[in-house]
Structure formats: structure tokens, C-alpha cells
Structure 1
């Protein structure tokens, strides 16, 4: 599932291509991927202009000049591609938004969605999200206070969107490895030194993920050399050697969530 770095990468690439552009045509191939009847969706979205693309946690928000917003969540298996007709991926597209400079294809929206919402709905839908971990206002002191009463395992704490926005299965494992903490460690058992390591690891890993285009391997456009450049440290590397100690990475289920870690480096 795309997480904060993947969605931030999409946001930045979309900003270059669709900001200020009019949506010339809308094609809906799967009605379940939207939240209003197709005629209503077409009437409000077709000919609208995208004035801004914003990211909130794992969501993308396409703000339209009408005051409405297209709220995207790719969920598991969803991805996007931008390009002309001749570059169209040989995959089923649930939704297509056409601009003068290319088409935006939404692919794999089996669980994901593109909903047309107003400002009030958007406010309510995103109200329970925790702080953005890369927000400059999210300081070390704020993190210490934020985690002070947490009692769950680090794995479940980090993926909880009401705790921090945008971290999922992949980057929670990467963060724990960077901080040299076992993902089953209880949050309320961390020392101040470990909390600081965790805070710094969150910022370092997410910034690195963004700089390298995230870990998803679907290019966003023809010739895309950025998307998917992030090479994971432990995630999805079961039995491969740890980059620190060369011992094999292990996979374990923690509260029904797959967790990859080094049993030697992560205590």
C-alpha cells in the first residue's frame, strides 16, 4: 500500500503536470470507485480546473475551482500513471481524467477510491488523523509528549493513523530498524534515548523515502527514473542478510501485521 513517501512523490509529480489544468474528459469504468452517481460526478468534475494537489497522510486531495475536492486513497494495490494515449498501461483503468497535456490513469482501485467531496465532509473525514511526522511543528518535545501515554507495540503504534499520519507496514519496519528497536517493543517501555532515536528515525526514513521516490515499482510516466527508487532496509527482505550485521532478516506476525526485522540489531 502506498504510504507517505509514495503519496508525497505522486503529489510533487502531479503538481508539475495538472496544477492549474482543466479536466477535459472523465471516464468512469468502475462506479464503485466513486461515491456519487456517474452523471453527477461527470457534471461536477468534467471541465473543472485542478487548482492545487495536496497530500494528507496517505490521501491525495485534488482541489477544484468549484470548491469541491477529489479525495484519493489508493489503498492496497492502487497506483497512477500519467501520459498520452499511446503510453497507456496495458491494465484495467477504473478512472481516467484527461488533460490537454496527458491522461491521468487510476489503476488497481479494487479497494481504493476517488471521491468527490465538499469542505465539510473533508474536514470530518480527516479529523482523526494524527500529526504529520515531517511537519516542522512536530518537534522532538512534541513527539515525547505525544508518545508518553502510548502502551502498544511500536509496530501497531506507528501504523495507527491517529498516532502519526502516513506510516504503514513498510516504513514502520524501516523506522524500527533505523532506530535499532524491535517492532514488538512496548512504547511505554522506551527510554528517553530510545524515544529520541525513534523520533530521528521517523524523520530520516521518511525523508529518505521521499528523496528516492518511495518503494513502489510502477513508474508514474514514461522515462520516470524517480518513482520506486527507495531500497528497503528490512521490509520484504526475509532471510536476506542484514545490512549492518549480515544475519538474516526475520519475518514475524505482530497483531496480525507482518513485521520484518533483524533479531540481532533490533533489541
Structure 2
């Protein structure tokens, strides 16, 4: 599932291409990917423009010039591609939104969706999310206060979208590794220094993920050389049995509350 870095990367790319261009065509091949009848969806979009693309957690929120919103959550397996039919990857699309000669293709929306909503309805969805880790209002002090109210495993806390928005399995493991903490470490047992290090690691890993185009290696546009570059930089995620880059130990995998977690038992600790 795309996480904060992937969605922020998508936001930046699309903001450079689709803003203020009238929507010229809509194609929906999977009705379940949208929340209204196809005719309603089409008539609400054609002729209107996207004036701003916002990211909140793992969501993209397309602000329309008529006051409406398109709320996108790609969920597991979802992708986006911006270009033409000639350079589109050989994948089936569920929704296509055309901006003149170029189209934004939504691919793999088996669970993902594009909902046509009002601004108020989007606010209600976002009200259930925790703070943005990279927001200027977030800092180490606020993060420590949030963490000190929690109990349970470190990874369980940081993937909880009601606590912190945007982090999923992959980046949670990488953040824990950067902080030299086990993903199973109990949050209530972590001192101020460990929580500070966890916060710093979270900011570093997420920013690096964004700058390197996230981990999804399907290009978002033709001749794209950035998307997915962070995948090769994972230190522990999906590296079970491989050598730890930091200490030479062996990366392990366990299941924590129904989620797989990758870590190095030699250089990651409980505190």
C-alpha cells in the first residue's frame, strides 16, 4: 500500500501537470471504484479544473474549482500513471481522468477508490486521522507527548492512522531500524532520549523516502527516473535472512499483531 512518501511524491508530480487544465473526459470501467453513479461522476468533473492537490496521510485530495473534492485512497495495489495511452503500462485501468492530451490513469483499484465529496465530507474523513509527521506544527515535544499516552508495541503505534497519519508497514520498520529500536519495543518503556531518537528517525526516513520517489517502482510518467528509487535503500524491510548493513547481523521477520515486521535482532533493542 502506498504510504506517505509515495503519496507525497505523486502529489508533487501531479501538481506540476494537471492544475487549472479543464477536465476533458472521464472513463470508468469499474463502478465500485467511485461512490456515485458514473453519469453523476462524469457530469460533476468534465469542464471543471483541479486547482490544488492536497495530501493528508495516505490520501490525495483533489480540490476542484467548483468547490467539490475528489478523495483518492489507493489502498493495496493501487497506482497512478499520468501520460497518454501510447505510453501507459500494460495494466488495466479502473478510472481515467483526461486533461486535454494527457490522462491520469488509476490502476489496480481493487480496494482503492476515488470518491466525489464535498469539502465538509472530506473534513469529516480527515478528522479521524492523527497529526501529519512532517507538518510544521509537529515537533519532537509534541511527538513525545503523543507517545507517552500510548501503550503497546512501537510499530503498532506508528502505523495507527489515528495516532500518526501516513506511515505503514514498510516505513515503520525502516524508522524503527534507524532508531535502533525493535518494532516490538513497548512504547511505555521508552525514555525521552529513545522517543526523541524515534522522532528524528521518523522525520529522516520519511523525507528521504519522498526525495527518492518512494518505493513503488512503477513510473508515474514517461521517462520517469525518480519514482521507486527508495526501494533499493530499504535497510530491513523485505530483507529477511540478509546481512544487516549496520552491524553485519542477520535481518529477521516476525508477525506483530497481524503484521509482518522486519528488524535486526543484533542492533535493534527494546529501549
TM-score range, shorter chain: over 0.9
Runs of 4+ in 1 over 3 A off after TM superposition: none
Instruction: Tell me the equivalent position of 2:221.
Output: 221
Secondary structure of the corresponding residue to residue 76 of structure 2: coil
Residues 70-89 of structure 1 mapped to structure 2, 5 A cutoff: 70-89=70-89
CA deviation map 1:120-173 (0-9, x unaligned):
111111111111001121111111111111001001101000110100000000
2:175 aligned residue: 175
State the match for 1:109 in structure 2: 109
Q: Which runs of 5+ in 2 are unaligned?
A: none
Cα displacement string for residues 68-95 of structure 1 (whole angstroms, at most 9, x for unaligned residues): 0000000000001111121122111000
Match of 1:241 among 240, 243, 247: 243
2:51 aligned partner:
51
**What's the RMSD between the two structures over aligned residues?**
0.7
- How far, CA to CA, are the matches of 2:99 and 2:137 in structure 1? 36
TM-score, L = length of structure 2: 0.97
**Residue 210 (structure 1) aligns with:** 210
Structure 2 counterpart SS, 1:135: coil
The reply on whether 1:190 has 2:186 as its aligned counterpart is no
| 1:16-95 to 2 correspondences below 5 Å | 16-95=16-95
**Partner residue in 2 for 1:232:** 234
Equivalent position of 2:140 in the other structure: 140
**Secondary structure in 2 aligned to 1:86?**
coil
Give the TM-score normalised by structure 1: 0.99
Does 107-116 or 95-104 show the bigger shift? 95-104
Equivalent position of 2:3 in the other structure: 3
Alpha-carbon shift at residue 101 of structure 1 (Å): 4.0
Q: 1-side partners of 2:108 and 2:85: how far apart?
A: 18
**Runs of 5+ unmatched residues, structure 1:** none
- Counterpart CA distance in 2 for 1:75 and 1:142 is 28
